[in-house]
């Protein structure tokens, strides 16, 4: 069986991306081979390709920060997942491929029936937002949070997770998608305040943090319960 993946041979622009075909990887003991259904496309992917991200892999490498896929093959010595089960991972690189092999501890289960392209948005964006809220800021219910760049991936995740944590959110965005952002941050005690953010500085940039499987489970569980309530 053959595998197709993207390769970055040297740091630079989009022209550095190459499509290669090779033998499909085989999982080592304790590893899973996953068929990638959706991979995230994010700013860290671009920064890594340019060689300027703090966690940039050495070239040559396959980009792709996060993924959602199905278990295709299970390495010896592990039985915690089933063939065909949908899983998510954030290995930082390697996801722009048809198949990827990783240690089983890198994967978390994804609820059945979720769209892979939508589910993969939870991984990097929502893990970053979750850790900013609960590990860095340590927000508490009733507190207020000013969110810069609220219309981006992490920004919208902060609005939604802030709502789950009963945090009153004030947003700053470059453009004015008022009704859409208000719908994400709507709380009985919240008055959305959208202003222009033309003078944002480097000090306002997001802090990127590593994947925590506990955080992924917490986020997926909370949002799955919220979706179930909405459907009911």
Per-residue pLDDT at 231 exceeds 60: no
Average pLDDT over residues 40-64: 94
Average pLDDT over residues 73-100: 95
Average pLDDT over residues 77-90: 93
Contacting residues for 84 by C-beta, under 8 A, at least 6 apart: 70, 71
Among the ranges given (132-136, 144-148, 191-195), the one the predictor scored with the smallest mean pLDDT: 191-195
**Domain locations in the chain?**
2-110, 123-231
Residue with tokens 């306002």: 204
Q: E strands, 75-206, where?
A: 86-89, 99-103, 107-109, 144-148, 168-173, 194-196
Identify the CATH number of the domain defined by range 123-231.
Answer: 3.40.50.720
Q: What is the pLDDT of residues 214-225, one digit of tens each?
A: 333 344 444 445
Region of 94 on the Ramachandran plot (φ > 0 left; ψ -120 to 50 alpha; else beta) = left
Find out whether 96 and 39 touch, Cβ atoms under 8 Å. Answer: yes
Give the pLDDT of residue 36.
98
Find out whether 158 and 151 touch, Cβ atoms under 8 Å. Answer: no
In percent, the amount of the chain with pLDDT more than 70 equals 72
Q: E strands, the chain, where?
A: 2-8, 17-23, 31-39, 67-74, 86-89, 99-103, 107-109, 144-148, 168-173, 194-196
Give the pLDDT of residue 57.
95
pTM: 0.72
Give the pLDDT of residue 144.
84
Residue with tokens 């999982």: 27
Give the pLDDT of residue 184.
58
Closest by Cα among 112, 108, 123 to 38: 123
- For 41, the token pair is 């496309």
DSSP characters for 13-31? SGGGEEEEEEEPP-PPTTE
Per-residue pLDDT at 107 exceeds 80: yes
* For helices 213-231 and 153-164, angle between their N-to-C axes, nearest 10 degrees: 70
The CATH number of domain 2-110 is 3.20.20.540: no
> What's the mean per-residue pLDDT of the chain?
78
> How does residue 180 score in pLDDT terms, banded at 50, 70 and 90?
low
* For helices 123-131 and 153-164, angle between their N-to-C axes, nearest 10 degrees: 60
């Amino acid at each position: 069986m053959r595998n197709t993946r993207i390769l970055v041979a040297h740091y630079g622009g989009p022209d550095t991306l190459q499509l290669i075909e090779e033998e499909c990887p085989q999982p080592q003991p304790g590893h899973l081979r996953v068929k990638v259904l959706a991979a995230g496309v994010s700013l860290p992917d671009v920064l890594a390709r340019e060689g300027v991200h703090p966690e940039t892999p050495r070239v040559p490498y396959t980009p792709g920060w996060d993924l959602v896929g199905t278990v295709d093959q299970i390495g010896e010595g592990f039985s915690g997942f089933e063939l065909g089960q949908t899983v998510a991972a954030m290995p930082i690189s390697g996801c722009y491929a048809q198949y990827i092999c990783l240690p089983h501890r890198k994967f978390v289960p994804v609820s059945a029936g979720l769209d892979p392209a939508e589910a993969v948005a939870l991984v990097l964006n929502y893990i970053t937002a979750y850790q900013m809220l609960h590990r860095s800021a340590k927000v508490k219910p009733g507190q207020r949070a000013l969110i810069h760049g609220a219309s981006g991936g992490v920004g919208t995740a902060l609005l939604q997770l802030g709502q789950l944590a009963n945090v009153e959110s004030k947003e700053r965005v470059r453009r004015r998608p008022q009704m859409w952002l208000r719908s994400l941050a709507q709380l009985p005690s919240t008055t959305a305040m959208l202003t222009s953010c033309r003078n944002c500085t480097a000090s306002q940039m997001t802090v990127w943090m590593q994947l925590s499987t506990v955080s992924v489970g917490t986020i997926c569980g909370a949002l799955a319960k919220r979706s179930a309530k909405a459907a009911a």
